[in-house]
Structure 1
Amino acid sequence: MQGETFSNSRVRDLSKEKRLTQVIYALQAASFLVGITYIFAAVINYVKWPDVAGTWLETHFRWQIRTFWYSILWGIVGGLTLFLFIGYVILAANTIWVVYRIAIGWIALSEDRPVS
C-alpha cells in the first residue's frame, strides 16, 4: 500500500508527509547553490518529526538529520585543517558523502521504502 502505514488497524495516508520529505531532500540539494536551505531543511526536519513518528518516513527524517549534523561536523574539521591541506581532502570527501546521502535517500523515498 503505497504511502500508507498500519497503526491500530487503521490506514494512514502519508502522501503529504512524503511530499514534505521530498521538499527536504530538495532543500538539502539546493544548499550546494544556496547554503541557507540546508539549515531550513534541518529546521523542518525537527519541527515536522512528530508528524512522521512511527512511520517508514521517520527513517528518512533520521537520515536527513544525521546527514546534516555529520556534514557540519566534517565541514568544521575540514575548515580547521585547510592550512594542513588535509582539509581539502576532508571537505571534498564530505561533499561527495552528502551528495551520496541525498541521492540514496531520495531514491529510497521515490520507491516508497525506508532508508537505512
Structure 2
Amino acid sequence: MTDTQPPVAQPAPGDLDAAKLVYILYFISVVVGITALAGVIFAYLKRGTASAIAASHLTFQIRTFWIGLLFVVISGITMIVLVGWLLGLATVIWFLIRSIKGFMLASEGKAIADPETWLW
C-alpha cells in the first residue's frame, strides 16, 4: 500500500487579502493608534464571509485588538505607580509579535492554529 497524504487545503487567491490588510492596519496603529479600530471593524465585517483559513486570522485579529485594549487600559491605570510603563511596553511587544506571526502565516496561506489564545 502506498502512504498518501490528504491534500492540504489551499486558500483561494486573494482569500487572505482582508486579513493581511488588517495586519497592516495593526502595524500602522503602533504609531497612529486609530488604525487599529479601523482594522477590528474591518475584521468583524469580513469574518462572516471568509473561508475557514481567513476566518481563523480574523478571529485572531479581533481577539488581539480586545486583549490589547484591555492591557492598554490596565497599563494606563497603573502608570500612577510607574509599573504601567513596563506593562505598556510589554503590551506593544506582545501586539507586534502576534501581528508579525499572523502576517507571516497569512503570507504562507496557513491558518492560525489556535485563534482564541491569549499568547502568540
TM-score normalised by structure 1 residue count: 0.85
- Which residue is 1:6 aligned to? none
2: CA distance between counterparts of 1:25 and 1:2? 20
Asked whether the equivalents of residues 30 and 92 of structure 2 are also in contact (C-alpha less than 8 Å), the reply is no
Identical counterparts, % of pairs: 27
List structure 1 runs of 4+ shifted beyond 2 angstroms: none
Deviations 1:7-35 (A, max 9, x none): xxxxxx3x333111111100010101211
**How many Å apart are 1:64 and its aligned residue?**
0.3
2: CA distance between counterparts of 1:100 and 1:29? 10
Gap runs ≥5 in structure 2: 1-8, 114-120
Name which structure has the greater RCO, CA cutoff 8 Å, separation 6+: 2
**How many Å apart are 1:51 and its aligned residue?**
1.1
1: CA distance between counterparts of 2:75 and 2:92? 11
Which amino acid in the other structure matches residue 85 of structure 2? Y
Q: Which has the higher strand share?
A: 1
Q: Which has the higher helix share?
A: 1
Number of residue pairs matched?
A: 105
1:40 to 38, 41, 48: 38
Gap runs ≥5 in structure 1: 4-12
The question of 1:114 aligning with 2:111 is answered yes
The question of 1:77 aligning with 2:74 is answered yes
Computed over aligned residues only, the root mean square deviation of the Cα atoms, in angstroms, reads: 1.2
